[in-house]
Structure 1
């Protein structure tokens, strides 16, 4: 399956006939680097502190090309190195957008997005009227809130100095990147992937992204905060929410799986083991093996305790587009359990 994803993505890029050969080679090299090198992510934990981030980190690899047409053909979320998101992208799950707003001399466009119960992604492009504002800049981020059409706030990525407007805790954590930052043109690409370890993100309908501040961090760590109002509509086209469910083969297993549902971006698994495990490292090495021998690991998980049981919820990069019929959930030092597709 992995090789098929790689092949489809490269074929898609190859269809961009306007790409010069030298840029084509740069993209290929960048793609290979992303696939083969470990990368460092900026991962944010939500205020409830439910997520336990995995010990491994990754280096974000960005690249700079000056051709706007080339940039338009690049998968906005490829730099996250998430096999599940890549599989969703290959199958047309990511939606294009042209929602935009301008304030404080900064134009922000929501270029693409996706969402299912487990993960949501947002890809923005910022254009600074005064490019000098980006001189010696290391990172650019946003303070924003994602509000659904019913008025409920799904995600609030804001500092502790600002009050929350909602009380829902759908998001376990998020990862933010600047794969594109050009101080000469004043353009910045800002990508976000937010995740619910419990598979609880509601469908987006008439949602709005309320951006309150732009944060410009210099190479020396100095922060320049630009307050304003940028409200971007999320035009979510109706798509079939393809899912697949699995059930455990051995009901007497020491690992009791209560849910294993694959969505377009990932497989959400919830299970319980007897006893109270205080050390989160107990579950740091858990993985899933599919019927083709591919291994899948999780970036983090939520741990709770109830009735003398430890309950774990996590997402694995196996999608509803996968044709695997059987999976094996393995936890070193505890056991394993086979999952069969329904």
Structure 2
């Protein structure tokens, strides 16, 4: 048992995942405490101790790996996304393709009705492309579901967008990081958001990349190709979600739906007034939880019909936080108390 345990522990400590000095010290101390146990103790006690140590190592490593993922993945200052990832709501997959001496690997992703997050690792063989003052590296891509419907796309010019089907995505954020210039490795992360909470299930969806773009200080290079990556769903079968109901009503406001999902809380309501684009003061819409914490949003979608305006938006609150009560403050209209169903 001791020999087997040492082998397993050695495998873990020498795995490719990053382990902080603090965690490694904790593991070493725990292991040494077992090795120094009185050899006269019964065999089964050593077995239990070894098993407990292995469990502790796994737990520590699991938390450390998740924390490392949050640190290096999706640096978008989004508390809802970070909470979801911290609770294991992320797919770690290995989908990779190469074309024109550029390989693109889909490393990890998550998705619910409100947001999609994807992390790519790009490897560029021609290192001369990475010389100079690089301001940004990004992909031109489309996400298409198994039925051929466009979920979202980004990285195209206005002229190119005219030839692409309209998507259901309200906004796109992206970030890149040069990981290793000598190896030509780049990390590229994206967040796609639907204020209407209309992102469908994306298992069996594909990401079609047709350009890798490198933006320098004074010019731009685009490498055209055909990279197709599959979004394979491994561990996101259960979406933790809660619905909320209004405890009171206010004039000229009708709540359509309020639902918390892993990445964010979506609110849809009708206003008995026609607002033109950007007229509604969305920056002043405030959500307050039962602990007095305030949340704001700065993006929404608006649709007008029959003299009413439907407003949809997301707040950076994860369903994993399991809030029971909220207060929604709608500027110029009043307050509505919300309770988890």
TM-score normalised to the size of structure 2?
0.76
Change (3 A) 1:130 1:170: same
Match of 2:98 among 95, 102, 121: 102
Match of 2:144 among 123, 144, 147: 147
Higher relative contact order (CA 8 A, sep 6+): 1
How far is the alpha carbon of 1:225 from its aligned partner?
Answer: 0.7
Judging by fraction of residues, say which structure has more helix: 2
Give the match for residue 89 of structure 1.
Answer: 85
How many residue pairs align between the two structures? Answer: 279
Give the match for residue 29 of structure 1.
Answer: none
Deviations 1:96-137 (A, max 9, x none): 011001111111100100100000011001111122211121
Match of 1:137 among 134, 138, 142: 134
Give the match for residue 192 of structure 1.
Answer: 190
How far is the alpha carbon of 1:276 from its aligned partner?
Answer: 2.0
TM-score normalised to the size of structure 1?
0.76
Across the aligned residues of Structure 1 and Structure 2, the Cα RMSD in angstroms comes to 2.3
5+ residue gaps in structure 2?
Answer: 1-16, 23-63
CA distance in 2, matches of 1:318, 1:176: 20
How far is the alpha carbon of 1:275 from its aligned partner?
Answer: 1.6
Change (3 A) 1:133 1:167: closer
Deviations 1:270-328 (A, max 9, x none): 01122223353522211210001111112310112222222210011112112211111
Matched, 1:73 2:68: yes
Greater Rg over alpha carbons, structure: 2
3-state secondary structure, aligned to 2:182: coil
Matched, 1:307 2:303: no
Deviations 1:7-62 (A, max 9, x none): xxxxxxxxx774458xxxxxxxxxxxxxxxxxxxxxxxxxxxxxxxxxxxxxxxxx
How far is the alpha carbon of 1:165 from its aligned partner?
Answer: 7.0
3-state secondary structure, aligned to 1:80: coil
Give the match for residue 201 of structure 1.
Answer: 199
How far is the alpha carbon of 1:332 from its aligned partner?
Answer: 2.8
3-state secondary structure, aligned to 2:275: coil
3-state secondary structure, aligned to 2:85: helix
